[in-house]
Amino acid sequence: MFGFHIDKKQYFDIQVLNTEKHVIPFIENSVLIKSGMRILEIGCGEGGVLKAFLNKGCVGVGVEMDAARIDNARLFLKTEIENKNVEFIVNDIYKVSINELNGLFDIIVLKDVIEHIHEQEKLIAWMKNYLKPNGVIFFGFPPWQMPFGGHQQMCTSFVRNIPWVHLLPTFIYGWLLRKTKDGFAALLEIKETGISIEKFEKICKKQNFSTIGKLHFLINPIYEYKFGWQGKKQFVWISAIPWVRNFFTTCVYYLVKIKN
């Protein structure tokens, strides 16, 4: 576990910086982000990603199931809330109504979220109902088979340092987590919901989305703040090899829109 997993303000600041440095430029390779655009972030946590969009004049809505994280978001973005530039909803995204969201969105953001979602195809299909014409969805996630795709770095024991340990059979992996007294329920759930590049692309295609931006990383940009490693794009030849690429790609960015 890293210090910023405990210090939520530090984590918030890291998310702002990473979004401004990497996520927004990636999106703007395809879509210019303009003042007044409406942004929905699903699984917004403390609101750091949204803050980067607010800094560009956008209006944001964040949905998050963890009330404690929204308490922090409301603290960190107190001024923006008072100015009605952002609002937060504590709820399961499937239970949020169109009235609560106050309309459609230019951009929907899921950063490090889709790999935690059960019924991923259901969510991706659901989002079509909340996009403006020509609206886009940004996805950023670690492929399940990558060295730390199980989020085992959150552990406090030696397990946090073992790449690909999450790929062990469930009964062995669960036994190991229990033996080391790390909370295993959340990590085993990720084993159920982890998503590969191929599965993600297949769902998008089935739901009539086209990919307008794609970027695979050998070194996840967020590792700059975890390990001091600069983000690095994946080698083109690795990105081109289905299935194998999942094991060596630590993060992917996708920008999709509904096909005309």
Residue that the structure tokens 């750091």 belong to: 48
pLDDT band at 159 (very low <50, low <70, confident <90, very high): confident
Which residues of the chain form beta strands (DSSP E)?
Answer: 38-42, 59-64, 86-90, 105-111, 131-141, 209-219, 232-233, 251-258
Say which residues have a Cβ less than 8 Å from residue 94's Cβ, sequence separation at least 6.
122, 123, 126
Which amino acid, one-letter code, is at 201?
Answer: E
CA 166 to chain centre: 19
Residue spans of beta strands (DSSP E) within 71-226: 86-90, 105-111, 131-141, 209-219
Q: What value does the mean pLDDT take over residues 118-146?
A: 95
Answer whether 0.85 is exceeded by the pTM.
Answer: yes
DSSP lists the bridge partners of residue 136 as 107
Average predicted confidence (pLDDT) for the chain: 93
pLDDT at 240 over 70: yes
> Average pLDDT, stretch 96-105?
90
Mean pLDDT, range 161-189, rounded to an integer? 83
Asked whether the beta carbons of 37 and 58 are under 8 A apart, the reply is yes
According to DSSP, the residues that pair with 215 across neighbouring strands are 253
Quickly state the pLDDT bin for 232 (edges 50, 70, 90). very high
For 184-231, the pLDDT digits (tens) are 677 888 889 999 999 999 999 999 999 999 999 999 999 998 889 999
For the chain, list the domains and their CATH numbers.
Answer: 3-143+194-258 (3.40.50.150), 152-187 (no CATH)
- Going by pLDDT thresholds of 50, 70 and 90, the confidence category of residue 177 is confident
- Give CA–CA dist 4/11, Å, rounded: 5
Contact 182, 150 (CB under 8 A): no
Whether 3 and 10 have beta carbons less than 8 Å apart is answered as yes
Euclidean distance between CA atoms 247 and 90, whole angstroms: 34
Note the pLDDT of residue 149: 92
- With cut-offs at 50, 70 and 90, classify the pLDDT of residue 145: very high
Which value, to the nearest 10 degrees, does the dihedral of the CA atoms of residues 160, 165, 169, 171 take? -20
Instruction: Enter the tokens of residue 179.
Output: 């033996």
Taking the CA of residue 248 as centre, how many other CA atoms within 13 Å lie in the half-sphere pointing to its CB? 13
Number of Cβ atoms within 10 Å of the Cβ of 134: 10
Q: Which of 17, 101, 91 is nearest to 59 (CA)?
A: 101
Pick from 209, 223, 193: nearest CA to 254: 209
Amino acid occupying residue 105: F
Handedness of CA 94, 100, 105, 109 (dihedral sign): negative
Instruction: Answer yes or no: is pLDDT of 181 > 80.
Output: no
More confident residue, 99 or 17: 17
